Every structure is written in C-alpha cells, then in structure tokens.
Amino acid sequence: MKKLFEEDDNEYSGIDKAKILVTVLPFVLIVIILAITLIANSIKKRGDDSDNLQQNIMEYADENQDAQTKESPQQVNSSSVVNQKDDAAVDTSGPMAEPTDNTANEADNQGDTEEDLTPDSSPTPYQQVMKAQKDYSKVEFHAEEQLQDMMAYWSDNNQKAINDLVYLDHYLAMSWSLKGTKNFYYYGDTNGNGQPNGKGVAVYADNQYYYGDWANGVRSGNGTWMHFHIHQTKNINDMYTYHHYTGGWANDLPQGEGSEHYDYDMNLVTGNEGYVTNRIGSYDAGLVNGEFYLITIYADDSTKEWNAKADHGAWIYQNENKDKKGNRTVYVEIQDPNNYVWLHPKKNVGIGVPCLIVPE
C-alpha cells in the first residue's frame, strides 16, 4: 500500500508541475518582453538626449560667439576722433569747469606725452588709400574719353553716376597710373597755351577728382574736389569712405567760402566720440579762416551742431579754460553753449582740407 501511495504522489506531483509551468511561463515571457522593451526605449532616449544636448551646446556656443562679437567692437583710428567732454571731470562728457590757474595747469601737464594728447578735432583721412590687389598697369584706359563721360555726368549734377564710374577698373587704372606723382589728366577748356582754362574736369592719384573753374592751368574760381576712399580688401583702419570740398578756389587751393563733407564707414564709428561730417565756412590758401558751422555724427547716427572761429589754420579758443592736459575749447555746441570740443594747442595748427593733391 505504501508503494502504491508513493507512486500516486509522484504522478500527481508531475501533473502539478506541468500546470504550474503552463500557467507561469506566459507571465515570465511577458515580463521578459516588457523588460527588453524598457531597456530598448531607455537606450533610444539616451541617444536622443545626447543628440539634443549636442545641439543645445552648439546653439549656446553660437549665441555666445555672437554676444562676444557684439561686446568687442572693432578698434578705430583715433587720430581723427573728436574728443567731446561735457562734464567737469576731464575723462567724461560735460561742460569743462577747470580753473584758469596757469601754474596749476602747467604742473598737471608735466609728464604728458604726445600719445596723451586729445585727438585732433579736424578730420585727417589717409592720403594714400589705394592699395591695389591687382596690377592696374595692365588695365587699359582712355583718359580723355573717360573724363569726357564724367564731365557730362558732372554737368548734369548726377552724383550717383559719378560714384559708379570711379569704382570701375578702367577708372581705377587711370588714377593708379598717376600714383606717387602730382600730375593729373584733364578734359575741358584750354587757353592758347593749352593750359586748363575755363570749365573742366581732372583726375589725380589716389582716386581724387576735380570739376569746376580753371585759370591758366590751376584750379581757380568755383569747383568741387572729391576724394574716394576705395579699399579692395577688408578695411579696419581708415574710417572714411569719401570726402569732398566745394566752393571757392585760387592758385589750386580752396579760397573763400566753401564747405566740406565727410562720409564714414559706420561699422568703425564706435563709442561716444563725434566725427565731423560737415564743415562750412571760409578758407584761405586751403586753411580754415573765419567763422564756421560744423556738424558731428555719432555711432547711433545722432548729430550735434557747433560754432567755431579760425585764424589761418588754427581754431580760435572759445575761452581761457584748460583741462589737466592743456587741451583748450575750440567748438561750442549751438544747442548747449556750455558744451565744447577740446583740442591741444600742439595740434591746433595747419588745419584745412586734408589729402588735397596740389601740383607744383
């Protein structure tokens, strides 16, 4: 009996194990499948997160690079910067309230170097700006025909057409052929000796042009002189793109009433400095001489208006005030008579139309 009982137990035990396997195995398989799915999704998510993180890093880097570019403005050539001071403190903006005690000022100025001096209030563009990237000696040009075309546009007061012409290769080559000389090509009226006399147009080196009256070979009467600052490579030094003088002339120099205008590369105009964009007054032998009205422009395109007086190339000081470096007041703002432009006496000499080529 015992043996039979033991055999029945083994038989039922096998049946129970089979039932258990049939019942549990599907659940085990489901758990395994779920586990595999979760692991796969986790791996995929990590990959996606990694890609997103990389993209975010790249975007952040780009944003920071843009910010650094904006925070690091290009350096400007300070030799032509108008130094405006509107404050009692020497290095800030505001009306100057320095005492006129000469002894104290002389003591303050001891040890100053030329680099310490306030930048010149008169524009001083580069005279030679034409640095060619090609050999213009191999570019064919016809001076008489080209100047004839230019004279027609000038007679019609078509400044845009003139601006377009001077950038053409054969016009650049015409000016380039005069590089290093004071010679010029001319087209227009002449006298019995073949000298320019009457109305005519001329081109000089460094992309300089003149149109107007002539007398016995020299600019005399009324006319306009233009200087185009043409750069064929990236420019980081010369703030000027163009300047001109128009008005009276005598013996090849500005004489009498006239005006100057300056255009700037505004990408190089930074900070709070003002730059003379218009200067209207009288000239003597090319130098400022008499009463002047000036306009300065700033980085935000705002402008200010000033009055000044000059005596044969030197600005007449507005008052006896000096700052600690010896700078004196040369322009007074029209809207605010307590605001001045300051200039050191060592630089207040020979101020006139810059860069003008005058044949000997």
pLDDT value, residue 68: 36
Please provide residue 81's backbone torsions phi and psi, each rounded to the nearest 5 degrees.
-75, 135
Sign of the dihedral through C-alpha 203, 207, 211, 213: negative
pLDDT single digits (tens) 171-192? 999 999 999 899 999 999 999 9
Tell me the mean pLDDT in the region 29-40: 58
User: What is the C-alpha separation between 241 and 35, in angstroms, rounded?
Assistant: 72
pLDDT single digits (tens) 51-75? 443 344 334 334 433 433 333 333 2
pLDDT value, residue 190: 97
First to last CA, the chain: 145
Confidence of residue 105 (pLDDT cuts 50, 70, 90): very low
pTM: 0.66
Considering only the C-alpha atoms of the chain, give the largest distance between any 2 of them, rounded to a whole number of Å.
157
- Which of the given ranges, 16-25, 84-93, 294-303, has the highest pLDDT on average? 294-303
Tokens of 258: 């006239």
pLDDT value, residue 56: 41
Q: DSSP assignment, residue 250?
A: E
Instruction: Collect all residues with Cβ–Cβ distance below 8 Å to 86 and sequence separation of at least 6.
Output: 92, 93, 94, 95, 336, 339
* Residue 42: CA count within 13 A, CB half-sphere: 6
B/e letters for 231-259, b = 16+ CB within 10 Å, e = fewer, are beeebeebbbbbbbbbbbbbebbbbeebb
pLDDT value, residue 169: 94
pLDDT value, residue 309: 98
Residue 290: is it exposed, middle or buried by C-beta count within 10 angstroms (0-12/13-18/19+)?
Answer: middle
For the stretch 86-94, contacts whose Cβ atoms lie closer than 8 Å and that sit 24 or more positions apart, written own/partner, are 86/336, 86/339, 90/323, 90/324, 90/325, 93/272, 94/339
Percent of the chain with pLDDT strictly greater than 90: 54
pLDDT single digits (tens) 21-32? 556 556 656 656
pLDDT value, residue 280: 98
Q: DSSP string of 26-67?
A: HHHHHHHHHHHHHHHHHHHHHHHHHHHHHHHHHHHHHHHHHH
User: What is the C-alpha separation between 223 and 206, in angstroms, rounded?
Assistant: 19
User: What is the C-alpha separation between 316 and 314, in angstroms, rounded?
Assistant: 6
pLDDT single digits (tens) 81-93? 233 333 332 222 2
Tokens of 119: 């930048």
pLDDT single digits (tens) 156-176? 999 999 999 999 999 999 999
- Candidates 237, 232, 234, 173; CA nearest to 207 is 173
Instruction: Collect all residues with Cβ–Cβ distance below 8 Å to 241 and sequence separation of at least 6.
Output: 228, 229, 263, 264, 265
User: What is the C-alpha separation between 346 and 355, in angstroms, rounded?
Assistant: 20
Looking only at the bridges linking them, the beta strands covering 314-315 and 84-85 are: unpaired
Percent of the chain with pLDDT strictly greater than 70: 62
pLDDT value, residue 36: 59
Tell me the mean pLDDT in the region 341-355: 94
Confidence of residue 48 (pLDDT cuts 50, 70, 90): very low
Q: Which helix (H) or strand (E) holds 207?
A: none
- Which of the given ranges, 5-9, 110-114, 204-208, has the highest pLDDT on average? 204-208
pLDDT value, residue 231: 75
